[in-house]
Structure 1
Amino acid sequence: MQLATDYPVLNLFWTMLMFFLWILWFFLLFKIILDIFRDDDLSGWGKAGWLIFVILLPFLGVFVYLIARGKSMGQRDMQQMQEQQSAMDSYIRKTAGSAGGSTTEELARLAELKQQGHISEEEFLKAKAKILA
């Protein structure tokens, strides 16, 4: 009960706000440091300069970086997301095409050859096991 009288609700709210702003600050700082290394347009000296600026003067460095390069930072994020999405789509198309389409087509072709009498039951089972393996 003594904690409630020594620590009013407003102080609790203020403490929680400061804690979440502190977490937000570190998230923003790490995002900017990652963006500095990810940017292909910056030279090595440019990356080193921005990194030193952000580490030595963190508040000023982060705000100047956001003002100077914030728009291109968003564009790089969008470009990376699009590249990841296209890579995932390509992988899904390749996997679905090789696993479902061609195997099914080969089994249908084998069944047709068996029905027409071009291959025996034994040959059909061997070829089917080979395709499914």
Structure 2
Amino acid sequence: MDDYPLLNVFWTMLWFFIWIMWLFLLFKVITDIFRDHDMNGWAKAGWLILCIVLPYLGVLIYVIARGKSMTERDLKQAKESEAAFQSYIRKTAGTASGGGHADELARLAELKEKGAITNEEFEKAKAKVLS
């Protein structure tokens, strides 16, 4: 351990982290190749072969050539996920006990005011909602 200077340890760690970052980029590119619906099968196979045979150069070329569309697909997927999450929240909050009862009571009061239901029917429905 004494014959390996501290600067060499930092240099080795730097190269290790750069290699790990490149692996993440490689997997991101391969995932994007299969996620792109605009490319046909042969184009996907070509990009995949390029990234496997010449990994550093293939990934660099892919990021330069298709980086913008890669970002657009990421943004589209993020927006779809956010929309699905917001829809889930709205659906869940709409069926929650507090909001659901209040909406139901407001609807019953409106029906009573219009004369669509009698006072007795209103009281029965109100008791049913609150129970």
Q: Provide the residue aligned with 1:44 in structure 2.
A: 41
Question: Which residue of 2 is the match for residue 57 of structure 1?
Answer: 54
Match of 2:13 in 1: 16
Gaps of at least 5 residues in structure 2 are 113-117
Q: Which amino acid is the alignment partner of residue 99 of structure 2? A: G
- 1-side partners of 2:88 and 2:59: how far apart? 37
Match of 1:118 among 89, 100, 120: 120
Q: Once superposed, what is the RMSD of the aligned Cα atoms? A: 2.6
Q: Is the 8 A contact 2:26 2:59 kept in 1?
A: yes
Task: With the length of structure 1 as denominator, give the TM-score of the two structures.
Answer: 0.78
Count, aligned residues: 124
- Output aligned runs, 1:1-133, within 5 Å: 3=1, 5-99=2-96, 100-106=98-104, 118=120, 128-129=130-131
> How far, CA to CA, are the matches of 2:29 and 2:91 in structure 1?
35
Determine helix, strand or coil for the equivalent of 2:120: coil
Mapped partners of 2:94, 2:65: distance in 1: 45
The one-letter code of the counterpart of 2:77 is Q
Instruction: Report runs of 4+ in structure 1 exceeding 4 Å deviation.
Output: 107-110, 121-129
| TM-score (normalizing by structure 2) | 0.79
Q: Decide whether the 8 Å contact of 2:104 with 2:129 is kept in 1.
A: no
Q: What CA distance in whole angstroms lies between the structure 1 residues aligned with 2:25 and 2:125? A: 64
Q: How far did 1:97 drift?
A: 1.2
| 2:38 counterpart SS class | coil
